[in-house]
Chain A
Amino acid sequence: MKNTVFKNLLVPILATALILAFSGLASAKAIKIGGIMDTTGATSDVGKDYAIGMEEAFKYINEKGGVNGKKIKYTWFDYGYRIPEAITKYKLLKRLGALVIMGWGTGDTEALSPTVNKDQIPYVSASYSAHLTNPKKSRYNLFFSSDYSTNARACLTAWFDKKWPKHPDYGKRKPRFACAYMFASPYCSAPIKAIKDQAKLLGFEIGPDQDVSLFALDTKSQIMALKEFKPDVVWHGNTTMSVSATIRDAYALGLGADWIVNNWGFDENLPRLAGEAAEGVMGATPCAFYGQPYKNMDIVVATAKKYHPGIPQEKRLIRTVQAWGDALIVWEALKRADKAGDLSGNGIMVKGFETMKNFDIGLGASPITYTASDHRPTTGCLVQEWKNGKFQEVERVDLKARWPEKWEKEWLGW
């Protein structure tokens, strides 16, 4: 009996495993790219769409011949937003020979940054933390979008430029500003120092911070605390789910403040979740929203339809486009490094990424530039507002143009 079970089950399983293992070897010449994504954890409300978009982007890149004819083999894992898990996954991807790794959260990206630098593996993540933009400290960390600090400064500046002059108290007193974010999360807290600095620069009165969890569904106590301070504008640095819960509560309790939101909290789901409360909410947009008419958007939409026809188009988010943004800069860097004949980590960085000057990904993002001394991809950020049922441009703030001295000397890396 035991023998039959052995023959019937174990032998076919072993044979299949062997075939699969060898078929893996057959594609060993492909350029290996790893991914560490969050599709089940605290930031999965935005992470899921990003992960799907990333996978689609690499499939499209392979359809187009890969990197100068070399195919890309993209292997990715969900790490559930657990940092120790991300570290194990990173080690595994390194062992599998990943040339570039597509990462996710700020906590894990910052935790891995020293290791990534030592291993010289370009790590293109969805964390746009400004801490990662100073090549002296984190040479191998990259992303395509304006960093969180730039987003925060730009949003506050846009509000100050466009909304404050229309306020009845304009000219009579200083505008009041407060922050709501999850203190414990490095993503949420990354731009707080920068936005408070900007608030001081623009002459705001700064109120007490409110701790709002990324899992928050009820934020009434934080809104009540804000009501005491009576802010005119509040920065929210979380992701969409908790941002929508907060602005809904603020609307219900009549806080009366405007909201400016970091890019991971500002997407097509915000008005769906927050309803009327989303009217007038402003946020940083790193690129175009899904389906907006830009040069390469047709490709994004067509690829999404082709590879995941089961996901309704109206459920797609800007997160897919963001994933494409990161995938496209990696593609470009790999092509350039490959042409230069150096596909090592350092080669991809020096002969790939750091040769990009005003590179346009064609998805509504600001042109991207990396230099050996500055990895801030863009000098400003587009601020949009949800108004009358659609996203509308408020202002494209260029920080470098407005504060050139500070941009060059002070703001790099924080």
Chain B
Amino acid sequence: MSSVWLPCGKYHQDYAHDQGWWQTPVIKGKMILLLATVFIGIPLLAPEYWVGVGTMVGYTAMGALGVQLLIGYTGLITLGHAAFIAVGAYTSTLLVLQYPWPPFIVRWGLAYPISIMAAGIVAGLWSVLFGLPSAKVKGFYLILTTIAAQFITVDFILTQYVSQIGGRGQAFSLPPGTIKIGPWTIDSEVKIYYVMAVLLTLVVIVMANLLRSRVGRAWVAIRDNDIAAEALGINIVWYKLLAFFVAGFIGGVAGAFWVSNTAALSPEHFPWFWSLWLVGVILIGGVGSIHGAIYGSMFMVVIMELLQLGVIPLAEYYPKLLIDFAYVKDMSFGLAICAFLIYEPNGLAYRWWQIKNYFNLWPFSY
């Protein structure tokens, strides 16, 4: 059933309408407003700092969408997604810094866009490699194989071998002006934000389309009951690996984007905690929903920043508040997960759905 409430007397007349994204003028208006806020309002009106926070939200959301696809839509629990983000970041950096591109590619500012695609593909294939055990195992055992992905990729391969390329210890540093897309050099907070906004929008479009296609249905079927799905004729190994590929691809794109944000790279940027954090993000946002991943990212990044800003004026009188903020942040992360699991197990996405329903049904409560 479509989740959209149509005005009285209007009905879906065909499948395309039933599956359409923006089904009523109100929804169309809301979405245009949202896009205008994201693409015009925030970058042009918000202070630079908040644009930076917006970039963090987008980056976290991209990472979380990959996790959402695996956990929320295919039921494959992963705790190693930071590894695929790292693979994407390293692929992109190496291609931009080390690969001998023909001069016209560099001149036309194509090296970075190509590297984003390549980062997605390499991370996707790498993810498939670690998705292979999912053909045989699930649940707790799959968690362990994905944790292995983190340790093998980041702590072993990237640290011991890949990051040695370039001969400058472990860290890659991208000189200013290296990241270019066409004629634009990505060198300001607003430009970085735009790269994020475009990439995130594309990722959301691709994912939303995949989910309403045959592939998405197969993933959901596997999540709900893999034996039943297999009985229905779904090749579950193929679809599970496809889920790993797409999740890895999205992670790779997020990693490639991360490079434009930090202009530096070392294995320290991708700790295991980051994988855990992404799972927390989708738990808070709502498992099994695209906008849940985005709400979760907003919650985890913006709330923490607001909390910190609230603490700053008080710190003059209670300096410990500011000093111990990292503790507070970690504690809030744990507390938020516990609180959501107990009081709102379906996450912020469900709460949003309830709010929408309230207005759709008003003045009748049901």
Contact residues of A with B, CB < 8 Å? 17, 20-21, 23-24, 39-41, 51, 55, 75-80, 82-85, 87-88, 91-92, 94-96, 106-107, 110-115, 117-118, 131, 137, 183-186, 189-190, 192-193, 211, 414
Contact status of A107 and B323, CB under 8 A, knowing A118-B187, A184-B155: no
Interface size of B as a range: 35 or more
- B238 at interface, CB cutoff 8 A: no
Contact residues of B with A, CB < 8 Å? 47-49, 52-53, 56, 154-155, 159-160, 163, 167-171, 173-176, 187, 189, 261-269, 271, 273-274, 305, 308-310, 312-317, 319, 322-327, 330
Contact B325 A414 (CB under 8 A): no
Residue in A21, A83, A115 whose CB lies within 8 Å of B268 = A83
Contacts of A51 in B (CB 8 A): 323
Contact A114 B176 (CB under 8 A): yes
B168, B171, B187, B316, most chain A CB atoms within 10 A: B171
Complex Cα–Cα for A13 and B49 (A):
26
Residue in B53, B155, B269 whose CB lies within 8 Å of A88 = B53
Contacts of B314 in A (CB 8 A): 20
6 more contacts with CB within 8 A, not counting A84-B56, A114-B264, A189-B170, are A17-B310, A75-B312, A78-B324, A91-B52, A137-B175, A184-B163
14 example contacts (A-B, Cβ-Cβ < 8 A) are as follows A20-B316, A20-B317, A40-B326, A40-B327, A75-B312, A75-B322, A82-B273, A87-B261, A92-B49, A94-B48, A106-B171, A111-B171, A113-B173, A184-B267
Identify the 10 closest CB pairs spanning chains A and B, nearest first: A95-B49, A111-B264, A189-B169, A20-B313, A184-B159, A184-B267, A186-B171, A114-B263, A78-B326, A91-B52
Complex Cα–Cα for A91 and B308 (A):
13
Contacts of B155 in A (CB 8 A): 184
Q: List the A residue with the shortest CB-CB distance to B154.
A: A184
Q: List the A residue with the shortest CB-CB distance to B301.
A: A88
Contacts of B169 in A (CB 8 A): 131, 186, 189-190, 192-193
Contacts of B261 in A (CB 8 A): 87
Contacts of B170 in A (CB 8 A): 183-186, 189
Contacts of B268 in A (CB 8 A): 83, 107, 184-186
Contact B325 A78 (CB under 8 A): yes
Complex Cα–Cα for A111 and B314 (A):
30
Contact status of A21 and B313, CB under 8 A, knowing A77-B325, A114-B173, A131-B173: yes
Contacts of A211 in B (CB 8 A): 159-160
Contacts of B154 in A (CB 8 A): 184
Residue in A91, A106, A111 whose CB lies within 8 Å of B263 = A111
Nearest CB of A to B191, in Å = 12
Q: List the A residue with the shortest CB-CB distance to B327.
A: A40
Contact B315 A75 (CB under 8 A): yes
Contacts of B319 in A (CB 8 A): 55
A85, A107, A118, most chain B CB atoms within 10 A: A107
Contact B160 A183 (CB under 8 A): yes
Contact B323 A76 (CB under 8 A): yes
Contacts of A83 in B (CB 8 A): 262, 266, 268-269
Residue in B159, B187, B269, B271 whose CB lies within 8 Å of A183 = B159
Contact A113 B323 (CB under 8 A): no
Q: List the A residue with the shortest CB-CB distance to B319.
A: A55
Complex Cα–Cα for A414 and B167 (A):
10
Contacts of B273 in A (CB 8 A): 82
Contact B266 A184 (CB under 8 A): yes
Complex Cα–Cα for A115 and B261 (A):
10
Q: List the A residue with the shortest CB-CB distance to B312.
A: A75
Complex Cα–Cα for A80 and B265 (A):
18
Contacts of A131 in B (CB 8 A): 168-169, 171, 173
Complex Cα–Cα for A85 and B274 (A):
11
Contact B167 A91 (CB under 8 A): no
Contacts of A20 in B (CB 8 A): 313-314, 316-317
A40, A184, A211, most chain B CB atoms within 10 A: A184
Contacts of A21 in B (CB 8 A): 313
A84, A87, A118, A189, most chain B CB atoms within 10 A: A84
Contact B47 A95 (CB under 8 A): yes
